[in-house]
Structure 1
Amino acid sequence: MVGFVAARLFKPSSLRHGQAMKTRYDDISPYITKDGSIIRELMHPSQHPVCGQSLAEAIVPPHATTMAHVHHRTEELYHVTAGRGRMVLGAESFDVSQGDTVLIAPGTEHHIRNTGKQDLRVLCCCSPAYTHDDTELCGPKDQEQAVDR
């Protein structure tokens, strides 16, 4: 995966899947992903010795919305660590706030809107690990859904 830089505690040649490792949040550079959210890849197989999953933090600024998208192979768990928003999963929508965890099944169109005055912060666990290739943008349904920066 290209487009981000992660902190490494070991040289890449010494990394083996299953090896113990830790990363530090402040050492990981954020990037903008396909859905428009600000992402920090906390653990990802392309940079770390983790197998079959990835963990990232997504930040959605106040009043912004990620672009609707779908992952055909990946199951996601979103865990809200700060802020509040409105989650849309297919035809369903509901409010989320700090402490809520949401399951997003493979093939489910989804997006999230920050409805608060502070950053909406979400831990995203993906299995298998996130890839740009498995992310299909569905396009905004209306102007309100487009990411607003």
Structure 2
Amino acid sequence: MSLIRNSEIESIQGNEGTSIKQFFHPHNTLEGIGYSLAQFTLEPEKKSKLHKMKSSEIYYILEGKANLRIDDSTMELGKDDSAYVPPNAKQSIENIGDDNLRFLCIVEPAWKAEDEIILE
């Protein structure tokens, strides 16, 4: 069994100005999972860089409001909404609320730096 406590995870700064807490990833899980789970925080009026990944991704909004761009479509997401991003889709997320946007991302197969391409 692997137990990860939010209070024990140090945040790192992502390339797009997000604060990231990596909960589960194959490198820190004894059971050999094939996905990764991370929590992101994005301040008001901030936006991730347009990027694409070889992996599929699921966003789950914990708090705040966002515009999620997937290829040529944009959808508004709020608390408890989720969205699927297929592999190799152009994507970015923008905080459109007055408070921090906090969301979870599940990436499968697990996130690897070499699988992500920044497009802007």
* Bigger Rg, structure 1 or 2: 1
Shorter-chain TM-score: which interval?
A: over 0.9
Unaligned stretches of 5+ residues in structure 1: 1-19, 140-149
1:80 aligns with 2:61: yes
Question: Counting strand residues as a fraction of each chain, which structure ranks higher?
Answer: 2
Work out the number of aligned pairs and report it. Answer: 119
- Aligned-partner residue type, residue 65 of structure 1: K
Structure 1 stretches of at least 4 aligned residues deviating more than 4 Å after TM superposition: none
Looking at structure 2, the residues matched to 93 and 60 of structure 1 have their Cα atoms a distance apart, in angstroms, of 18
Give the aligned CA root-mean-square deviation in angstroms: 1.0
In the TM superposition, 1:1-149 aligns within 5 A as 20-49=1-30, 50-72=32-54, 74-139=55-120
1-side partners of 2:10 and 2:96: how far apart? 25
> Is the CA contact (8 Å cut-off) linking 1:35 and 1:69 kept in structure 2?
no
2:17–2:46 contact (8 Å) kept in structure 1:
no
- TM-score in terms of structure 1 length: 0.77
Give yes or no for contact 1:59–1:122 (8 Å, CA) kept in 2: yes
1:76 counterpart SS class: strand
Q: Percent identity?
A: 23
Deviation, 1:94, is: 1.2
TM-score w.r.t. the length of structure 2 is 0.95
